[in-house]
A and B are shown apart, each in its own frame.
Chain A
Amino acid sequence: MASNTLIEVRVSPAAHLTALMSEASVVQGLTLSEVAFTTQVSVRVAPGSAGYDAVAAATGVGLPEKVGQVAGEASSASVLWLGPDEFLVTAPEDSSLVSTLETALGGNPGQVVDLSANRSVLELSGAKAPLVLRKSCPADLHPRVFGVNQAITTSLANVPVLLWRTGEESWRIMPRASFTEHTVHWLIDAMTEFASDPVD
């Protein structure tokens, strides 16, 4: 019981915005919500090293090899490519993930750091989600370039985010936790126009 005390009182970065986000979810099928308390672990290992092979085996889904790639699916453990030697392992809440990866890396050069509280996870879904994102994301979001289950580091509303297309019409936006409020308000503002019918 005592070990769970912090878990009972913790608050996710967008918890106070839940009502606002559900109000803003539009008839047309645009919804914004938070995926709270995911586990996120930063891994830095150089490709070709022993540590890379060990960590790749420990994640269960390998490590992505180039920009945009994601190993695994958002519903379970998955790994995002952040740089040639930098990865973000994410999973629904999993307290054993950090120690598993740390054990796998062992004494090899590299690092495994628990960054679960570093980024908040927002989920925007609906057919018009790309139109909302395109209002301030400079990256190419065309389906020809940005396929399902791809993720990149870019910016949205002038803050750095990880943008992850988790499904045909669903996108995960991961800003730093302190930018959550700004990002949510910006997204709600950007979604508003889709509440009314288009004017011919």
Chain B
Amino acid sequence: MPMTERVRKLRQQSLEAEETLSSERAELLTEFYASGAVGPGVSIPVQRALAFQYLLEHKTIYIGAGELIVGEKGPAPKQAPTYPELCCHSLADLNVLDAREKTRFRVEPGTREVYRDTIIPFWQGDSMRDLIFSGMTDDWKEAYQAGIFTEFMEQRAPGHTVLDDKIYHKGMLDFIAGIEARLEALASRQDRDTAAKREELQAMRIAAGALIRFGERHAEAARTQAAGESDPRRKAELERIAEVCSRIPARAPRDFHEALQYYWFVHLGVITELNTWDAFSPGHLDRHLEPFYQQGLAAGALTRDSAEELLHCLWIKFNNQPAPPKVGVTAAESGTYTDFAQINLGGVQADGSDGVSEVTYLILDVIEDMRLLQPSSSIQVSEKNPQAFIRRAAEIIRTGFGQPSVFNSDLIVEELLRMGRLLEDAREGGSSGCVEVGAFGKEAYILTGYFNLPKVLELALYNGLDPRTGKQLGPQSGAAKAFSSFEALYRAFEQQLQHFIEIKVQGNHVIERLYADRMPAPFLSLLIDDCIAAGKDYHSGGARYNTSYIQGVGMGTITDCLSAIKQHIYAARVGRDPLPQLTMPQLLKMLEADFSGFERERQMLLNRTPRYGNDEAAADDLLVKVFESYFRAVDGRKNTRGGEYHINLLPTTCHIYFGSVTGATPDGRQAWTPLSEGISPVQGADRRGPTAVLKSAARIEQVRTGGTLLNQKFTPQLLADEKGLQSLVDLIRSYFKLGGHHIQFNVVDADTLIRARACPGEYRDLIVRVAGYSDYFCDLSEALQDEIISRTGHERF
């Protein structure tokens, strides 16, 4: 269905609204705590719940013209609240946010004043960020500053969770009844934790009530607007909105519209309580909505078109919420408005049967129509899904805006089973954020930070010293020139790796406890099993499953580095081999010079080294070796929430930052340039096409991760005809047979091709469809490149 006029307008407004930093939440929160409403006798969970209640009771209610789904995180679309209890923006931060060219947040003069006079004096020195940094050891701080790892919790709360189907069967009143039953059961008991459990449950009860009130406030506002509305159609819509908002979230939804609005209120509740990582996601939305959809069609109350319009309205709501504005260094660097909510489609149902439904296709249409940055979307591909489902998704992929991404649903179930999930919980699981897996509705799976693998190798080459700063950061694992074998060097790398993982995990322990003690999240907790049953907060192990992830970055780069070292320093030369043998001191000299004066040697490292991504065992064996070391260093460690550590391999944009702190590397990479991203090969290193990349990537036993990320670049021409589209589907199916977790396709536009023409070395893997065949873009004549660029330009949407 084409967009309705209403949707077109709302979408346009969402695209045009300027991202603005709103101080409303910070002001209300400060007001609440400064008022003395909560004395020292009130427990922290109850304090937090009362603060949440205060926010929902007092924040501006926004119902925009023409809206069908209502509610905003800020006072209006694209207005981003702040969370001073977690990290308090300084005036300098506000200036940076306001002044920067990309992903700017407008800051009104009034906001600056409020910050200067009220917010900063109240929170400075007392935010979680302050507490975290003051709680860290010197070792931790030095490693953090050197760019060996990042810390997720320094300005956002550990969230990263996804909802299952529970809200579609239960209203907040039902949650409250469940909480009260727990409280009653506790009344007759007196174990060590009873008092704490009671406080937590009371906090959840308050939070549930607060969301009901939030719904009522929207109902009231809708009624008021309706009273003054002269257009009878809009008046009826507003009356319907009022009816929906006074039904849900108190009681379970009865129809499609109520189900969507309920989810949206819950979403707003979670991201108002705290600025959780990756916002929050509805999970398998197609599955959750299917019963409401079928029942609406059968009753004649809903049509495919009216359902689609409601979904359009929900999509626009997601897009109205930019990610929380950052503070400190990241305020200058962080380059995205996306908050990583990810809608899952397809996969399997709890009983293992095909999860694709009519609503799946409906939502795919919505994704294609909306073409919005948010929410992100993915298809979960199971052996049990029909080809038509993947074909439909492939058609959207080829339009080139990067959505949906593609996941292996069957492997995700296996990954979750390996981590000890029940089968039905694993099947209700899926992917969220970028590629991370969890058991939806039952798991707190916290991403704790990115980990810079090539930097750790750099330290091993320098006996634990950071060549960028001259600081001794790691243990003295041996002078590189003394390593008599590749294995000796590798052992030094493993020693450094263990050392820094240990530091990271020790820091995480402290941070986890800080969040558990100081920043409980009673609203989020009531949504995630078994927090109510356990009387425990989401942040302190209340969830049924509790994972901590550390995300490895630079797999491609480190593999090629190890391969280069092995090949050029330690491999014996046979006969009259034209390759000169390098020594370690020679290599280090080149790295220190950033290859200046050593261009021929750099070319040798780039082009005479077996490199990852070419389905070549010499390189891929080293990839497996690094994977094993990283896996062993992290997987199975205990966190403080009763769960375990697992790994995933994804960078978001951190490979740029990590590259910027890492000097020249033995793979021929120049200093301070980006590392490879995800499990993708080093940019330009894969020269044998997509099948070779997939084969190489599948050498990683991905089932032992909680997510890997693989990017593939294609031009629109490669997917323009039926054969190209079908082959994309076949590539996906084949990769998943081989045990791949995720793949996404960058169907590149003319701008990228222009850059590829200017810097061919970085785009050697770019395949373009030429005429009746395909070729590497960089191998084409300039005239032909021009021609393809102009063709692509015509194909852009």
Query: Are A and B subunits of one complex?
Result: no
Residues of A within 8 A of B (CB): none
Residues of B within 8 A of A (CB): none
